[in-house]
Amino acid sequence: MPVGTLGSVKGVSQDVLEDLGVEILLGNTYHLFLRPGVETVRRMGGLHRFMSWDRAILTDSGGFQVFSLNDLRKVTEDGVAFRSHLDGSPHFLGPEKAMEIQIGLGADIVMAFDECTEYPADAERARASMELTLRWAARCKNYFREHKCEVPWAVDAAELRSAGRTNASAPTRASAMSGSGALPRLDGAEPRHHTDANQALFGIVQGGMDAALRRESALRTIDIGFPGYAIGGLSVGEPRELTRDIVLSTLEHLPSDQPRYLMGVGTPEEIAQYAQAGVDMMDCVLPTRAARHGLLFTSEGKVSIKQARYAQDESPLDPACECRVCLRYSRAYLRHLYASNELLAQVLNTVHNLHFYLATMRAVRAWIRASDAAG
Amino acid sequence: MPVGTLGSVKGVSQDVLEDLGVEILLGNTYHLFLRPGVETVRRMGGLHRFMSWDRAILTDSGGFQVFSLNDLRKVTEDGVAFRSHLDGSPHFLGPEKAMEIQIGLGADIVMAFDECTEYPADAERARASMELTLRWAARCKNYFREHKCEVPWAVDAAELRSAGRTNASAPTRASAMSGSGALPRLDGAEPRHHTDANQALFGIVQGGMDAALRRESALRTIDIGFPGYAIGGLSVGEPRELTRDIVLSTLEHLPSDQPRYLMGVGTPEEIAQYAQAGVDMMDCVLPTRAARHGLLFTSEGKVSIKQARYAQDESPLDPACECRVCLRYSRAYLRHLYASNELLAQVLNTVHNLHFYLATMRAVRAWIRASDAAG
């Protein structure tokens, strides 16, 4: 899942994302809560309609950003008081609030509010944090059950029906969305979903770097019961091998017939390994953030396009790649754009890295199908 | 002509420019001379091939930037010594050097090296400056005549023929250029032009804000003889009405059966007015630069998209516009992207403004055809 922090994958327009074959985007609740605010997104019909994106969206709970972007946070049983990283204004997020916000944003998949246990954490601290996340998970589920019908598209549909609005009163928007097409949108008459559709709430496994705690967290989260489960609290500074051990041992305890989502991972090699190990979903800022810093993933390894060695290199960035960047531009041009601080560098680099990640996942899916056929 | 200062229209990829119907781009010799340097562009086969742009390119002479970006410049009969605005390194541009660079860049239309007379300038200064520009114009024409066969694509063609290179040794690049298609490029076998093709060198009329001097400059530049003529030295701080007077009075003296190019102009209203008055070509950073500052041109006037009034405005930026931005996104989304400093704001805003300018010019062309038919 490419990361679209603020309702936009930085520098890439939605039609290009569709062309790239992106099927699901991640939006960050923390960032959208601060800008433009959930009330704005709700009034605009939800995040899909606000950003003109028909395909799937997942929003995280905001927990990770509250913990990683706020040194002055205060954690209580009810949630986390914190200050905006933008203007220092005081805010509060807890299980109920995180659900309320995510219902207002209206993504297809929403995440329980968890405490991301810091690394390192001693045994007592890791258990206490895990127990808090479990209590919050139950509260999230309860709030979600009672309020899930309040998604903006449901409200829209009811309002529209009672008001009898037609296309005539809405802005004309011949869909520019070449890749999707199926669902009429933004025309004011047909909301994206039926009123009886709602979101899927996933639970999150914590437990620090302790395999036994992870097992307990997984089993007790399953006891609460969710349609999908995430492995959280990783990529927080621990060694890569430890991440791998925890992921693999936790995966064993999660039902293989429900989505298993590994949060915040990883390199192309890692996403291939984890997908082959049974992870169904991953998100990471790496392809997009690295692209903006000139670090590009290719079939021949990483390329730091800022290097002078590429200044007169006429070959494509990745000769094996069929993305629109590699088909059209040379390393020399990409190097020039980056060295000259041209906006287009960030745009093209991001398109390539996203393509590389998506192609990696396509290859993994083909591998899985072949394995299934052989097995 | 959209401005692609450094071989890129900031934030907009070449396939989008093609979709927008851009037929010719302007590149800035001064900027390309400093980054990536003419030798790199030449070795990459010229600017078209370097940036993967099959359609027309015009390069300016660098004179305007030398005068506007350099306070410590030193003007002599031979040219201008100046320091790079990037790192303070010393450089020199004069008529011969400007020709050498522009031949190396290989644009379709290149401009004579002129002195852009500052505003205000007294009568003596305006005449001296005009005379210098005329002497430089003759030197440009002489140098160009002797060296015009040195365009990179000509060298390429000769080299390629003698080396007998084929497609097999070159990177495979199935053209991603939906809009052009005609000219095979970047395949190492078929250079863009035949060796006997070369560039068109345009002369530039100066003369400050004095109609008589402008007339003299026009007539004496025509005496030197060029395939097209530009009106330079405007938009340098003078009142808009004075610009208009000078443009109209100068146009009278330029042959109407050759291209007449007004440099650095202007607003949508101005480009429509000047085109109707007989100007054939214009360039301006306004649509692209204004877009990056959130100032958008619409059929209902200018929109400053940063304003809070648009925060929950579901309507398209310009209901009368059919660009991919107006067909897909709301003002609320564009406002959010801008307020959140998202890269995509600059991308989408630029696409819209370029579309608006190009649509303005299409309307002008239709008006001209209708006038011709009626007349």
Render pLDDT for B86-123 as a digit per residue (tens, 0 to 9). Answer: 999 999 999 999 999 999 999 999 999 999 999 999 99
Nearest to B10 among A319, A330, A342 (CB): A342
B308-326 pLDDT per residue, tens: 999 999 999 999 999 999 9
Confidence of residue B153 (pLDDT cuts 50, 70, 90): confident
Q: Is residue A175 predicted with pLDDT exceeding 90?
A: no
Q: Is residue B42 predicted with pLDDT exceeding 50?
A: yes
The residue from A60, A114, A156, A210 that is catalytic is A60
CB count, 10 Å around CB of A307?
14
Average pLDDT over residues A303-321: 98
Q: What is the pLDDT of residue B178?
A: 32
Q: Is B13 on the interface with A (CB under 8 A)?
A: yes
Confidence of residue B182 (pLDDT cuts 50, 70, 90): very low
B237-287 pLDDT per residue, tens: 999 999 999 999 999 999 999 999 999 999 999 999 999 999 999 999 999
Q: What is the pLDDT of residue A220?
A: 98
Percent residues over pLDDT 70 in chain A:
89
Q: Is residue A98 predicted with pLDDT exceeding 60?
A: yes
Average pLDDT over residues A10-18: 98
Q: Is residue A86 predicted with pLDDT exceeding 50?
A: yes
Q: Is residue A162 predicted with pLDDT exceeding 70?
A: no
Percent residues over pLDDT 90 in chain A:
85
Q: Is A313 a catalytic residue?
A: no
CA distances from B58 to A190, B79, B156, B195, B372 (A): 48, 22, 20, 19, 28
The residue from B108, B114, B156, B283 that is catalytic is B283
Nearest to B329 among A52, A328, A347 (CB): A52
Average pLDDT over residues B148-173: 56
Q: Which of A161-175, B18-32, B64-78, B183-197 has the highest mean pLDDT?
A: B18-32
Confidence of residue A159 (pLDDT cuts 50, 70, 90): low
Q: What is the pLDDT of residue A232?
A: 97
Q: What is the pLDDT of residue A196?
A: 57
Q: Is residue A375 predicted with pLDDT exceeding 50?
A: yes
Residue B52 DSSP one-character state: T
Q: What is the pLDDT of residue A158?
A: 55
Q: Is residue A263 predicted with pLDDT exceeding 70?
A: yes
Interface test with A, best of B105, B305, B321, B342 (most A CBs within 10 A): B342
Average pLDDT over residues A202-210: 98
Nearest to A98 by CA among A112, A119, A109: A112
Lowest mean pLDDT among A196-200, A335-339, B162-166: B162-166
Contact A333 B52 (CB under 8 A): yes
Average pLDDT over residues A206-216: 98
A217-230 pLDDT per residue, tens: 999 999 999 999 99
Mean pLDDT of chain B: 90
Nearest to A176 among B52, B315, B328 (CB): B328
Contact B327 A8 (CB under 8 A): no
Q: What is the pLDDT of residue B266?
A: 93
Q: Is residue A44 predicted with pLDDT exceeding 60?
A: yes
Task: Evaluate whether A98 touches A29 at the Cβ level (below 8 Å).
Answer: yes
Q: What is the pLDDT of residue A186?
A: 41
The C-alpha angle with vertex B347 and arms to B341 and B349, in degrees rounded to 5, equals: 85
To the nearest 10°, the Cα dihedral for B319, B320, B322, B327?
10
The alpha-carbon gap from B90 to the nearest alpha carbon of chain A, in Å, equals 19
Average pLDDT over residues A231-247: 96
Q: Is residue A190 predicted with pLDDT exceeding 60?
A: no
Q: Is residue A312 predicted with pLDDT exceeding 70?
A: yes
Q: Is A167 on the interface with B (CB under 8 A)?
A: no
Confidence of residue B163 (pLDDT cuts 50, 70, 90): low
Q: Is residue B167 predicted with pLDDT exceeding 70?
A: no
- Chain A, 325-344: which have a CB under 8 Å from a chain B CB? 327-330, 332-333, 336-337, 339-340, 342-344
A129-158 pLDDT per residue, tens: 999 999 999 999 999 999 999 999 875 555
- Chain A, 340-369: which have a CB under 8 Å from a chain B CB? 340, 342-344, 346-348
Nearest to B113 by CA among B150, B138, B148, B88: B138
How many residues can be counted in chain A?
A: 375
DSSP SS3 for B300: coil
Cβ neighbours of residue B72 closer than 8 Å, sequence gap 6 or more: B82, B83
Q: What is the pLDDT of residue A163?
A: 55
The residue from B60, B108, B114, B156 that is catalytic is B60
Q: Is residue A273 predicted with pLDDT exceeding 60?
A: yes
**Token pair 């209203």: residue:** B269
| CA A283 – CA A287 distance, rounded (Å) | 10
User: For B182, what's the count of Cα atoms within 13 Å in the CB-facing half-sphere?
Assistant: 7
Q: Is B52 on the interface with A (CB under 8 A)?
A: yes
Confidence of residue B173 (pLDDT cuts 50, 70, 90): very low
